Amino acid sequence: MRCRITKSFRFDAAHWLPHVPAEHKCRRLHGHTYTVVLGLEGELDPQLGWVQDYTEVAAACRPLLRELDHRCLNDLEGLENPTAEILAAWIHARLAPHLPLLVDVTVRETPTTEAVYCP
């Protein structure tokens, strides 16, 4: 049986968008409490009854969270223009080697805005 699971995590970080017009509010340094949702899909393990252990997913995320939390995202290599879309792809690139069942990454900057990266 094939199923989809999700695991969410949050972090606080600042950023600014260098390519928007100077008068745009996102051109100024500001912060968000980001919510990231990882989507994983696969066959249920017939004995354990799950796609993947959530503990393993959380462990794969811990180093990434340390890298992102309470940082200015623009200072991180590859995030010089840290839009939600670019951040979602950046997170996917770092987690996919550790989470082979990862199929998408959603980044929420606010409760009403999100970007979904589906490679």
Other C-beta atoms lying within 10 Å of the C-beta of residue 117: 20
Residue indicated by tokens 């979602």:
88
Separation between Cα atoms, residue 38 and residue 21, nearest integer Å: 32
Which tokens belong to 72? 């200015």
Say whether 26 is catalytic. Answer: yes
Question: What pLDDT shows up at residue 91?
Answer: 98
Q: Which residues pair with 110 in a beta bridge?
A: 113
pLDDT at residue 36, as a whole number: 98
Given the residues 24, 56, 70, 80, the one annotated as active site: 70
Furthest-apart CA pair in the chain: how many Å?
Answer: 57
Domains in the chain with CATH codes: 2-117 (3.30.479.10)
Kindly give the confidence (pLDDT) of every residue in the chain, 119 residues in length, as a single tens digit, with 9 standing for 90 and above: 999 999 999 999 999 999 999 999 999 999 999 999 999 999 999 999 999 999 999 999 999 999 999 999 999 999 999 999 999 999 999 999 999 999 999 999 999 999 999 99
**Predicted TM-score of the model (pTM):** 0.96
Q: Per the residue annotation, which of 26, 41, 85, 98 is the catalytic one?
A: 26
The residues near 97 (Cβ < 8 Å, ≥ 6 apart) are: none
CA–CA separation, 17 vs 31, rounded Å? 12
Does 77 participate in catalysis according to the annotation?
Answer: no
The answer to whether 51 touches 60, Cβ cutoff 8 Å, is no
